[in-house]
Amino acid sequence: MSTTHHLQRPAAGLALCALVLSACTPSIAPGTTLTTDPFPGNPPRPATAHANADTPPASADPAASTALVGPTPSTGRSLVRVLLAPDATLPEALVADFHATTGYALQIEQAHNAADTAADVLVGFDGGAILRLRPTLAAQTPEGFQPPQAASIEQVPAALPYAHDDVCVLADTQWYAANRLTPPATISDLSAADNAARLIVPSPKDSPAGASFVHLIAATQGAQMSAWLTSMKAAGMQVLPVDEAHAAWTLNGGARPLAVAPLSQAARAVTNTGTESYLAPIAGSCVSRTLYVAQHGQATNPEGAHSFMAYLYTRPAQALLASQGAAFPLDTEQATNTVTGVYAAPREDAAPLTAEQLQPTPQGW
């Protein structure tokens, strides 16, 4: 069952730790600076541009983003129910800033399966997941928004793009160094028996990240995917429910150093002073993803949902996404000199699968 978090209650800070990020002093890998590529040997990251081809005019409002067009968040005193994608996160600092800015309180529930959709607003789902959830969402584009056309999904006008978060196979390089082993260099190396035995894939039935990886394998393996999957499972690759996959990773005290996960996890690993892991994406294993926020079709607090969506389009929200390692903001200027800009910028080698390609629920996994 999902866990509910109330911003108003004093214990919320502890309860939210499983879902949201704490503000921590960055712990950057030795020799790495905010201008150093932490993943030498992998394709370079591109110099990303603003989300809109035509940059909107500067606003007199200091909180207004210069790259995203949305209304001013409304104020209120009610509770907004947020359903967060299984492998997404909302920083605690962002939750607090939204409350301070608007007066609304967030009740955050982490989705655990496709049936978890009761909420005012859905956050952190990629294009494929949003298409699968389309029957539960509002029908129209929210009033006052002009979402970036290139990132919008025509079939789901209610879904607003707000960030990027590619999915990759991430290697715990600290584990490999401690064991005097070399992590796989490319996705093709995953088929080696020792690498397969170290790989975790979150179930594509529950995890949008897992589904994205499965669709990448389908695109690269074609008719051979079934044979690839059989071989990988025989060698020890595990496909686990989201929580079990999370626990099995060496990042979280488990035994396996390779996991399919959002690239933002690499940024969060270095902002968490309790983590002794540094994560590097395996070349060729990444899928390009845009994250969306959308109002639920049966929202009981549509005003609060609209306010939260508007807030995500503001400069402070976009900056907090970047500084706290939650996702790479569509307002790309806000990622400058942040761990997200270094560790979780969109990958040049990420497969550009469309929302339609990511939509089908993978079978056989």
Per DSSP, the residues of 89-155 read: ---HHHHHHHHHHH--EEEEEE--STT---SSEEEEEEHHHHHHTGGGB-SSPPTT-B--GGG--TT
pLDDT in tens, 153-170: 999 999 999 999 999 999
Burial of 40 (0-12, 13-18, 19+ CB in 10 A): exposed
pLDDT band at 364 (very low <50, low <70, confident <90, very high): confident
Question: Per-residue pLDDT tens for 220-259?
Answer: 999 999 999 999 999 999 999 999 999 999 999 999 999 9
Instruction: Flag the least confident range among 75-84, 216-225, 303-312.
Output: 216-225
pTM of the model: 0.83
- Please give the share of the chain, as a percent, with pLDDT higher than 70: 80
Write down the pLDDT at residue 187.
97
- ∠ Cα 330 332 337 (to 5°): 140
pLDDT of residue 117: 78
Three-state DSSP class for 294?
strand
Strands of the chain, DSSP E: 5-6, 79-84, 105-110, 121-126, 160-164, 167-172, 199-202, 238-240, 258-262, 279-281, 290-295, 328-329
Domain 79-164+290-330 CATH superfamily: Periplasmic binding protein-like II (3.40.190.10)
Query: CA of 248: how far to CAs of 3, 74, 187, 241, 243, in Å?
Result: 21, 42, 21, 11, 9
> Higher-confidence residue: 51 or 201?
201
pLDDT at 296: 97
pLDDT exceeds cutoff 50 at 58 = no
Q: What is the mean pLDDT of residues 40-63?
A: 44
Q: Which amino acid is at 86?
A: P
pLDDT, residue 342, reads: 95
Query: Is residue 189 predicted with pLDDT exceeding 60?
Result: yes
User: What is the domain class of 167-288 according to CATH?
Assistant: alpha beta
Question: Residues 271, 87, 6, 120: is their CA dihedral positive or negative?
Answer: positive
Residue 261 has pLDDT above 90, yes or no: yes
**Residue 31 reports pLDDT greater than 80:** no
pLDDT at 50 exceeding the cut of 90: no
pLDDT for 2 = 42
With a cut of 90, say whether residue 137 has pLDDT above it.
Answer: yes
The domain spans of the chain are 79-164+290-330, 167-288
Residue 25: pLDDT band (50, 70, 90) is very low
Q: How confident is the model at residue 152 (pLDDT cuts 50, 70, 90)?
A: very high
Mean pLDDT of the chain, nearest integer: 85
Per-residue pLDDT at 14: 34
Average pLDDT over residues 204-224: 94
In the chain, pLDDT over 90 holds for what percent of residues? 75
Find the mean pLDDT for residues 176-203: 97
- 191: pLDDT confidence band, cut at 50, 70 and 90? very high
Q: Between residues 320 and 28, which one has the greater pLDDT?
A: 320
Domains 79-164+290-330 and 167-288 share a fold: yes
